[in-house]
C-alpha cells in the first residue's frame, strides 16, 4: 500500500506539470506569428534609427539650431500653458466667490427689506457701536464677513447671557422682597402674589403709602416707639417684677409666722423660692429685658428703634395668639405672665439652735403619712397667710380671715390634726370645720361652737347650733 501510494503521488505530480504546460501553450496560441513575440528585433531597429538620427543631428548645424529653437518654443508653450491653467483656475475661483457674494448680497438685501424702517434706525447705530467694541481694530472684507458675524454673534450672546443672569438675580431679589413684605403685612397682601407679574399691584401699594405721607411720620413713629410702646413694655416688666417681689415679701412674712411654730421639737419650717430654670420663662424674661435695654435713653439710631419695635411686636403677637398656634400661645401667655411660675418653691426644716438645715423638701416623696400631713398643713397655713396678707409681727386685729375646711382630718392622724389646728390658731384664722364625729374630740378644744347635723331615719336632715359648752353638757347628759 505504501508503494502504491508513492506511485499515485508521482503520477499526480506529473499530471499537474502537464496541466501547467497546457496553460502556457494555450496562452501562446493567441499569437498567430512569431514576429508578434519577437521584441528583440524591434528593439534593435529602434537603436539603429536613434543612432542614425544622432549622426544626422551632429552632422548638420541648421538642424541643431532648429532643434534648439524647437526646444525653446516647446518650453515657452509649456510655461504659457501653465500660466493659462493657473489663470483659468483663478478665474473659476473668482467666479465662485462672485456668485457667493451675489448670493449673500441678495440674502442681506432681503433681510434688510424685511426689517422695518424704525427698527433699522433703532438697531443699526447700536450694532455699529457694538461692532467696534466686539471686534476691536479690524478691516471688514467680503471674505471676513462670516468670521466677523460669528464673532459678533458670540459677543452679543455673551452679553445677552450676562444680562439674563443679572435679570434672574434681580427678579429673585424682587420676589424675595415681595415675599418678605407679604409676610410682614399678610392682611394687605393676601390677594397679591409674590411674583414679578404683580409688580403693578406692589407699585400701587407703594404709591398709596407715599400719597398718605407715611414716610413723613417716621420720626414721629420712632418718638412714639420710645416714649409710649417701649415705656409701656417697661411698665409691664416693672409690674411683673413688683409681683415677683411681692411673692418674696409674702414668703418672708409667712416664714416669720412659721418660725414661731415648732414643726418638730426644736425645729421649724422655712419656705424658699428659687428662680425657675424653665426655658420658656427664662426666654420670656430675657426677651423683656431685650425690649427695654437702653430703650429709655432716647437713642436716635433708626436700626435700633426698628429692632426694638420688632422685639416688642414678636412678644405681642404671641400674647394675641399666632395663626396655627393660638392654643399653645395662650398656654404660654398664662404661664409666663403668672409670676408664680417664675419660682420653684421648696421647704427647709431647720434647727432653732443654729438655723442649720435638718432636711430639705422639694416634694413629699419618701415621707411617712404623718410627715406628709404635717408638711401639707404647714404649706396650707403658709398659703392662707399669703392669701390674707398676715404679718406675725403686727398685732392681732379683728379682721375676718375665714377658712372653710371640708372633711377635715378625716383620714389623718390625731397628732397631725392637732398640729394643723395649732398652726391655724397661731395664724389667727377663723375656721369652719366640717368633720365626722370620730374627730370631734380633736377639734373640740379649738372651736367655740358646733353645728350638729343629724338625720332621723334617713328622712330629713336637721342642724342644731350649739356653743361648745352646750355641746359638752349635751354629751354628758346623753352619756349619763
Find the mean pLDDT for residues 243-269. Answer: 82
Measured CA to CA, the distance from residue 263 to residue 371 in angstroms comes to: 10
Residue 151 confidence (pLDDT)? 84
- Output phi, psi for 461, to 5 deg: -95, 145
Instruction: Note the pLDDT tens digit of each residue in 428-462.
Output: 788 888 887 777 888 888 888 988 888 878 888 88
Question: 4-8, 28-32, 155-159, 355-359 — which is least confidently predicted?
Answer: 28-32
The residue ranges of every structural domain in the chain are 133-212, 219-362
What are the C-alpha distances in Å from 400 to residues 151, 386, 392?
A: 103, 15, 16
Find the mean pLDDT for residues 384-397. Answer: 65
pLDDT > 70: what percent of the chain?
89
Residue 83 confidence (pLDDT)? 93
Residue 79 confidence (pLDDT)? 92
- Binned at pLDDT 50, 70 and 90, residue 394 comes out as low
> By the 8 A CB rule, do 336 and 379 touch?
no
Mean pLDDT of the chain: 82
pLDDT exceeds 90 at position 127: no
Residue 243 confidence (pLDDT)? 92
- Binned at pLDDT 50, 70 and 90, residue 252 comes out as confident
pLDDT exceeds 70 at position 302: no
Instruction: Note the pLDDT tens digit of each residue in 62-86.
Output: 777 887 888 889 999 999 999 999 9
Residue 7 confidence (pLDDT)? 92
Residue 295 confidence (pLDDT)? 54
Q: Could you give the angle at the alpha carbon of 192 between the alpha carbons of 191 and 195, nearest 5°?
A: 155
- Binned at pLDDT 50, 70 and 90, residue 410 comes out as low
Please give the residue that has the higher pLDDT: either 386 or 380.
380
Amino acid at each position: 500500500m505504501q508503494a502504491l501510494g508513492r506511485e499515485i503521488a508521482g503520477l499526480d505530480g506529473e499530471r499537474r506539470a502537464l496541466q501547467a504546460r497546457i496553460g502556457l501553450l494555450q496562452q501562446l496560441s493567441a499569437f498567430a506569428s512569431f514576429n508578434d513575440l519577437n521584441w528583440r528585433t524591434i528593439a534593435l531597429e529602434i537603436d539603429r534609427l536613434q543612432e542614425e538620427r544622432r549622426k544626422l543631428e551632429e552632422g548638420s548645424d541648421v538642424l541643431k539650431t532648429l532643434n534648439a529653437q524647437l526646444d525653446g518654443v516647446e518650453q515657452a508653450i509649456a510655461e504659457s500653458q501653465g500660466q493659462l491653467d493657473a489663470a483659468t483656475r483663478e478665474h473659476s475661483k473668482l467666479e465662485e466667490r462672485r456668485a457667493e457674494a451675489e448670493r449673500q448680497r441678495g440674502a442681506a438685501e432681503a433681510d434688510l427689506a424685511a426689517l422695518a424702517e424704525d427698527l433699522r434706525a433703532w438697531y443699526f447705530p447700536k450694532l455699529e457701536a457694538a461692532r467696534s467694541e466686539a471686534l476691536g481694530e479690524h478691516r471688514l472684507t467680503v471674505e471676513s464677513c462670516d468670521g466677523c458675524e460669528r464673532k459678533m454673534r458670540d459677543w452679543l450672546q455673551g452679553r445677552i447671557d450676562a444680562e439674563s443672569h443679572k435679570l434672574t438675580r434681580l427678579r429673585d431679589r424682587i420676589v424675595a422682597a415681595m415675599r418678605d413684605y407679604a409676610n410682614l403685612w399678610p392682611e394687605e397682601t393676601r390677594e397679591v402674589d409674590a411674583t414679578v407679574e404683580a409688580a403693578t399691584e406692589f407699585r400701587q401699594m407703594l404709591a398709596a403709602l407715599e400719597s398718605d405721607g407715611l414716610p413723613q411720620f417716621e420720626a414721629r413713629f420712632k418718638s412714639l416707639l420710645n416714649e409710649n410702646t417701649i415705656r409701656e413694655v417697661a411698665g409691664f416688666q416693672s409690674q411683673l417684677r413688683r409681683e415677683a417681689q411681692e411673692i418674696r415679701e409674702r414668703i418672708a412674712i409667712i416664714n416669720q409666722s412659721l418660725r414661731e411654730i415648732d414643726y418638730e421639737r426644736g425645729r421649724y419650717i422655712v419656705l424658699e423660692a428659687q428662680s425657675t430654670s424653665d426655658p420658656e420663662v427664662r426666654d420670656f424674661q430675657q426677651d423683656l429685658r431685650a425690649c427695654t435695654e437702653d430703650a429709655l435713653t432716647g437713642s436716635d439710631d433708626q436700626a435700633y428703634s426698628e429692632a426694638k419695635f420688632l422685639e416688642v411686636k414678636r412678644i405681642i403677637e404671641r400674647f394675641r395668639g399666632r395663626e396655627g398656634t393660638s392654643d399653645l400661645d395662650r398656654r404660654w401667655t398664662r404661664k409666663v405672665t403668672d409670676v408664680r411660675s417664675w419660682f420653684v418653691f421648696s421647704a427647709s426644716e431647720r434647727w432653732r439652735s443654729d438655723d442649720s438645715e435638718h432636711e430639705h423638701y422639694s416634694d413629699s416623696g419618701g415621707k411617712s403619712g404623718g410627715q406628709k400631713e404635717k408638711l401639707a398643713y404647714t404649706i396650707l397655713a403658709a398659703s392662707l397667710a399669703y392669701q390674707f396678707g398676715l404679718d406675725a409681727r403686727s398685732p392681732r386685729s379683728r379682721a375676718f380671715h375665714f377658712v372653710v375646711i371640708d372633711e377635715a382630718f378625716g383620714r389623718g392622724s390625731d397628732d397631725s390634726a392637732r398640729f394643723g389646728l395649732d398652726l391655724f390658731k397661731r395664724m389667727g384664722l377663723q375656721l369652719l370645720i366640717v368633720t365626722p364625729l370620730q374627730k370631734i374630740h380633736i377639734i373640740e378644744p379649738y372651736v367655740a361652737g358646733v353645728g350638729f347635723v343629724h338625720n332621723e331615719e334617713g328622712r330629713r336632715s336637721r342642724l342644731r347650733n350649739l356653743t361648745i359648752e352646750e355641746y359638752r353638757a349635751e354629751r354628758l347628759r346623753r352619756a349619763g
